[in-house]
Amino acid sequence: MIEIGNAPCSWGVEFPKDPRNPPWRQVLKECAEAGYRGIELGPVGYMPENPVELAEALDEHGLTLIGGVVFRPFHDPDKWLDVVDGAERTCKALASHGAQHLVLIDSISARRAATAGRADEAEQMDKAAWTAFRNRIVTIAKMGAEVYGLTVSIHAHAGGFMEFEPELERLLNEVDAGLLKICFDTGHHSYAGYDPVAFMKRHLDRIAYIHFKDADPAVKAEAIRKRTDFYEACGQGIFCNLGKGDVNFQAVRRLLVEQGYAGWCTVEQDCDPTLDISPIADARANRDYLTSIGFD
């Protein structure tokens, strides 16, 4: 059975202490009202780390906590303690609520931000830097899987050192499939310049979790041409409502059904919370669109 969830980033929540963030209880309420059965944790520290307080709020709105993301600079050895702190706190929060998915994302790097979507121009790590980078990912994956019993997945993200298909496939080839799965993000894969459905066909057996995101091709082309900052591109609407961009969600659904995928697909429509937008209207529109193409 495919379950549909949403995430705080659809309400503009990217960092836990951002004063622009809406109240976490409002996000839970609106997520449920828009027709979703589950929600991600968001950046650790946004929702309360007191498990009783959060559990009561989740129960109030009939929501399941799906998982959480460690969006930290895995590429920077000087920030390792920050990565470990984010990972430990996220693991504890997920385990306390019976959530399953720990998602690892290398955060945006100043060295790669301007080449988001430009695989042929992006800086590459040398062998030593790559090995250390990979090993840091493996260390956190082992923490999540072996200490906390979570399903751990890697997520490619625009502007980080894990963005393009060759990088993702290199990592998958070097790390045991029993330890590290894929959290596949349809929108980021499109942003990177690749066909999401083609990748899914090759790797669905390793995809444990899916983020549903669409990409506006015109905004994307302009952002790549101008080397636009990722968050500025979000403010320009690069991640549009589902069904309005270049991701073929009907083909995605057919593939998932044919291959018997059972699990969560979480809508993530990163947006700028300072803009005159209505996250709950977008959340409803996205849920209605998914229902219209056969996602119950």
pLDDT of 265 reads 98
pLDDT of 277 reads 78
- Who's near 260: CB < 8 A, 6+ residues apart? none
What the block records as the tokens of 119 is 């695989």
pLDDT band at 293 (very low <50, low <70, confident <90, very high): very high
Q: Can you tell me the mean pLDDT for 106-122?
A: 95
CATH of the domain at 23: 3.20.20.150
Q: Can you tell me the mean pLDDT for 118-131?
A: 97
Q: Can you tell me the mean pLDDT for 89-103?
A: 98
| pLDDT tens digits, one per residue of 199-214 | 999 999 999 999 999 9
* 162 close to 123: Cβ distance less than 8 angstroms: no
**In the β-sheet with 207-212, what is the strand arrangement from edge to edge?**
64-65, 38-39, 2-6, 263-267, 207-212, 181-185, 151-154, 101-106, 67-72
Nearest-CA neighbor of 90 among 37, 53, 27, 45? Answer: 45
Cα dihedral angle (232, 233, 239, 240), rounded to 10 degrees? Answer: 90
| pLDDT tens digits, one per residue of 224-265 | 999 998 888 988 999 999 999 999 999 999 999 999 999 999
Q: In this model, does residue 272 exceed pLDDT 90?
A: no
pLDDT band at 273 (very low <50, low <70, confident <90, very high): confident
pLDDT of 126 reads 98
Percent of the chain whose predicted confidence (pLDDT) is above 90: 96
pLDDT band at 15 (very low <50, low <70, confident <90, very high): very high
Q: Can you tell me the mean pLDDT for 110-136?
A: 96
Q: What is the mean pLDDT of the chain?
A: 96
* 38 close to 266: Cβ distance less than 8 angstroms: yes
pLDDT of 229 reads 86
Number of domains observed in the structure of the chain:
1
Q: In this model, does residue 276 exceed pLDDT 80?
A: no
Whole-structure pTM value: 0.97
pLDDT of 150 reads 98
Q: In this model, does residue 50 exceed pLDDT 80?
A: yes
Percent of the chain whose predicted confidence (pLDDT) is above 70: 100
Domain range enclosing 54:
2-292
